[in-house]
Structure 1
Amino acid sequence: MNNLISSLKDHFFNVRGWRTSRKIVVFESDDWGMQRMPSKSAYESLLAKGYPVDKSIYNRFDSLESDEDLEALMEVLSSVKDKNYNPAIFTLNNILTNPDFGKILSSNYEGYHYELFTETLKKSKKSEKVFDLYQQGIRNKLFQTQYHGREHVHVNNWMRNLRNRNTQFLDAFKEGSFTINDNRGFSCRYECLDAMATYSEDDFNSIKESIEHGLRLFKEIWGFQSRSIIAPCYTWSKPLEKVFRDNGINYIQGSRAQREPISLNQPFKIYRNYCGKKSHDGLIYLVRNVGFEQIESGDDNIVNTALKQIQTSFFWGKPAIISSHRVNYIGSIDEGNRTSNLSLLKILLKEIVKRYPDVEFLSSDQLGNLMTSKEE
């Protein structure tokens, strides 16, 4: 019964919006460049202190990408070709900076400081070649970077917790992390992950500045303007969309539900979006309609589940926009995580090109460009 209800929801969700006769597959992968759990020793230290980090897949497996992570992912993406002889491509949604823990500590938690993710990479011997591999992947049409945020931390709320000497955040800070699970379980709000959540006028002004600055950093680092954005935790306020537009963004990646914050103590307002929907400010929503979150789903049959969602997307003339976070492909804390999930990805890719010989792999910005062109 649950499978039937899920299938009906997938069909209903795909009814509205932009259509195409082409079989288009887009992989969107969030959090690249972000420092989550710094190391296995940090994980074990926090676990020993009683934090249920073993109950969170992000605390347990997610860390800064390594050379081996990128090389292994590139090998899998290269293993298939679409109708145009292009390999599978991942849209890697990039976090541009991480907290500079040393400078924040030196200020006694009074001032927020950050470092570019490229500097974070240089501090890890496992990640010395990552930026070069990114550029190689872009040249070979395996990767396309797009904007996820200047940071993934809600700066105002995080700094407030540090200044108030919140034990949970201080313990994470000592290990070089800004967030860990507590006994309430996973929550973007409680863990200060919802970097673009505007709970106050002060939040709006600082987040506006962060977005504008972050997009400038993106262009400086990558040499091109990001045309799409994905807000951390799918949480942002409608007034921020004008900020997106004014800074070169044309397309908003997202899930079926957009969460708009009201205040720290009130539930989010929920908006339902669909692929091709236009915002008040003229931006196009690119909405994920396939889940391939191997480590999170607990679905032993996740390849077939994803294939059914792709089939439903194509039935309604929709591109299959697949959500697959970085955490699925990271092996520095647990190598088996990367190995097993890349194996599932390879199976999925092989099956896609077998079932749909006319498939086309596109990045998020390429899809957005197609949707706004005269070709369809």
Structure 2
Amino acid sequence: MTFPPLREELRGLQPYGAPQLPLDQVPVQLNTNENPYGPSEECADDIAASVRRAATGLNRYPDREHVELRTALAAYLSRDTPHGVSVEQVWAANGSNEVMLQLLQAFGGPGRTALSFAPTYSMYPEYARDTSTAWVQGRREDDFSLDLGLARELVEAERPSVVLLPSPNNPTGTALQPEAVTALCAAVGESGLVVVDEAYIEFRRAGTPSALELLPTHRNLVVTRTMSKAFAGAGLRLGYLAADPAICDAIRVVRLPYHLSSVTQAAALAALRHAPELLGKVDELRGERDRTVGWLRERGLQVADSDANFVLFGTFDDRHAVWQALVDRGVLVREVGPEGWLRVSIGTAGEMMSFKDALSAVVEEKR
């Protein structure tokens, strides 16, 4: 027996994570889809004061139902749907990663299947693996859209317990149309869930709706979100979902006791009070994204249409060599997605100029 006595299917695997390189070596870091604009001093002061108040009661366990936070999240989500969202429909956890893991713990497991369509978020099969859920992966079209006929056929053949559909999709930035969500909710039926992962939804282009609008129509629909991206809260670690109250009740069975600390709840509530400010740079980032898409296409590169705060571009015969050459010039992007493609997060105007200058130099060298 090899020590430590790790589960056999985990042996030899490496932990998930994007490269983290020192800022003094690579000053322009555009690889993890963070919001480049941090909270203001006023917002930071409110968070600090809120955490200070919570700290006086750290001898007591936090509200395990995080009712005040769920109420605030429900109010925020209600802005994106004419139907509104109630506190009973909301659940939160430590990042949307934990939300997804709890969903797989509750609705996946041995003898059950989770399904998605590649290319997609690379953590999904890890959630399945960690919960001993079988993993099935369909394929997207060349433009990264879904062929609904083929998608329905796969769902009907595999009968998954959970279908994971990011919208906008990571790493491609592709948004789902409402008819895709409706079709797959119908195909899955009440024997499974359709989870629409809206981590980047605040960056969507005009006219792209949120799946929240479909919640009253589909009991088996779950919409997940995060404060890590548009909310400039990657360090906060707060994810949440909206779903039928029965789904939220089921998650309570698998959640760890007091899983959201008093400090996390206080900081998230303070951040929500400053939502207009924290989201204030979203329009600017959208504009920078669209300009970046145009710039890349003008140089003859392929670019996926994006409703997110990142752009997938290519294709390169040796994408790793391009990635490394950019790093050597102080710019870090992500080597992810289909072979030949790279993904750049949208940063400040200055950061994007550095990216463009570096990429121009790299492409010129390789001609």
Instruction: Identify which of structures 1 and 2 has the higher relative contact order when contacts are C-alpha pairs closer than 8 Å and 6+ apart.
Output: 1
Q: Same fold (TM over 0.5)?
A: no
**TM-score, normalised to structure 1's length?**
0.28
TM-score (norm 2): 0.28
